[in-house]
Structure 1
Amino acid sequence: MNKPMRFAIIGCGAVTEVKSGPAYQQAEGIALIGVTRRDLEKAHDYAKRHNVAKVFASPSELINDNSVDAVYIATPPDSHKAFALEVAAAGK
């Protein structure tokens, strides 16, 4: 079996809690390994409830971590472009 694609979430809030998150948790071939959000206390709570190994202190730390293969941007739409450009620059 191939190694799973390791992904992390920027903005682990309501959307990832009830919409896309459950599907990603059940999908084969991927593994959620990290999260971050503005409120780190809430990020730690999310990580604990969803068995996520790492909470990153910032989006840049998450994006530039070598253990992260792909990034799910689940933030308000007006922030998507800046994060997407940073993710692309990191080759993810």
Structure 2
Amino acid sequence: MAAAELVDAAPRRARVRPAPDWPKPLVAAVKAVGGLAALAGAAFGPPTYQCRQMQEAGQFYYGDTLRACVRARVAERYATAEVFLARTLAPR
């Protein structure tokens, strides 16, 4: 009987696919559109959610609409951000 020989094989390396070579203007456009979409979502998302909750709870006054509520809440957020930036960037 012959003894079995144990041989350590070198571990196989995982194949790494190279990243696709996308055109740079396309990448820049996708980043810009994505950034604008994120900014719009941050500006309009919470006020819209809050107004929908108010509407479902029946907390609107007579004649109020969802659009008017969202517009008012976005204006409040804008004013708050404007005051914050004015305080933060004001020279001391």
TM-score by length of 1: 0.22
Structure number with higher strand proportion = 1
TM-score by length of 2: 0.22
Q: Which has the larger radius of gyration?
A: 2
Q: Which has the higher contact order (CA 8 A, sep 6+)?
A: 1
Structure number with higher helix proportion = 2
